[in-house]
Amino acid sequence: MILVIGGLNGFIGSNTSEALVGLGKECVVTRHENSEIPRFLQKHIDHCRVTIERADSTSIADLRKIGEKHKIDGIVNVAGGFSSGEGPMRGLRGYFHMLDATFQVAQEWKVNRVTFSSTGGMYIGLQGTVNEEHPLFLPSLFPILAYQKVVEVAAEQFAKKSGISAVRVRLMGMYGPFDGNQLGLEARLVHAAVSGRPTDLKDVFFGNAEDNGDLLYIKDMARAIALVHTAEKLQYDVYNIGSGKLTSNKEVVEAVKSVVPGFKVDLPPGRFPFPPMPLMETKRLADDTGFVPKFDVQSAIRDYVDWLKAGNSK
């Protein structure tokens, strides 16, 4: 039984829970305040492959209650935005409390592995193609990036002290079903195409006509996370999860147009005024798990469009 923190209604967590079930695993998924259940998880809940438990992931007491009801042998923590208390330090304090709670129950339950989501944003400031051994810059442009650097360092030390495998997966360019925030260009294009409304391009990073990025459909990303977590043996404790190639915004727009004829959009000209992200090498991931993406941009857009047309709101 695998505990997926943020596994019910988080974008990454819900898809990762389904991917774990696809590998034959049973999951306990946490929810905090939001009780929305994605349609693709409902069938697994009905068949008792996925169990929902309410928990604040920063609370040791809440997580211990889960351990009293279920035999947990692995933890996948793909939630985010942890906060605790009031004031300007509530975000950082929340991440500290989340780590403390996760590490504590992992030891008490004697789990085999803890997998934490991280971000390809770790490589901001680097150029070309990067792998997991590249030195990283300590300064962080955004608070969430600073917090995830704390998680990576803490997880490494936890593994050394406890002997429990603590893996970090650096995620890049995800889009697809149940993306409630729609921060990326791909989600906004698909939602606009399906709804018939103008595309909202406000505050989209790398959403200009000449931009490109490492894009990976959420179903592929979730499967990669699940493969890393369930691997019998891993050579490393950090894995890049991406497509291993750059996809241009023009290619994405053309894919949407081919799936939804008549769709029109004019992206801002030139490049986004921000240093471009490097391309993440994914050799470790392929070597240790055999992962190969199943979706290209065309099939991913078609699957996403079909999902929304089926009556799903996000």
Domains of the chain plus CATH, in order, are: 2-171+217-241 (3.40.50.720), 174-214+244-309 (3.90.25.10)
Reported confidence tier of residue 147, pLDDT bands at 50, 70, 90: very high
How much is the average pLDDT of 83-90? 77
CB-based contact 213:173 (threshold 8 Å):
yes
Question: Would the pTM of this model clear 0.85, i.e. be above it?
Answer: yes
pLDDT higher for 98 or 275?
A: 98
pLDDT at residue 87 greater than cutoff 90: no
As a 3-state breakdown, the chain gives helix, strand, coil percent values, each rounded to 5, of 40, 15, 45
Buried b (16+ CB within 10 A) or exposed e, 88-114: eeebbbbbbbbbebbbebbeebebebb
CB-based contact 21:161 (threshold 8 Å):
no
Structure tokens at 113: 């592995």
How much is the average pLDDT of 152-174? 96
* Lowest pLDDT segment from 53-57, 253-257, 282-286: 53-57
pLDDT at residue 291 greater than cutoff 90: yes
pLDDT digits (tens, 9 = 90+) for 201-244: 998 999 999 999 999 999 999 999 999 999 999 999 999 999 99
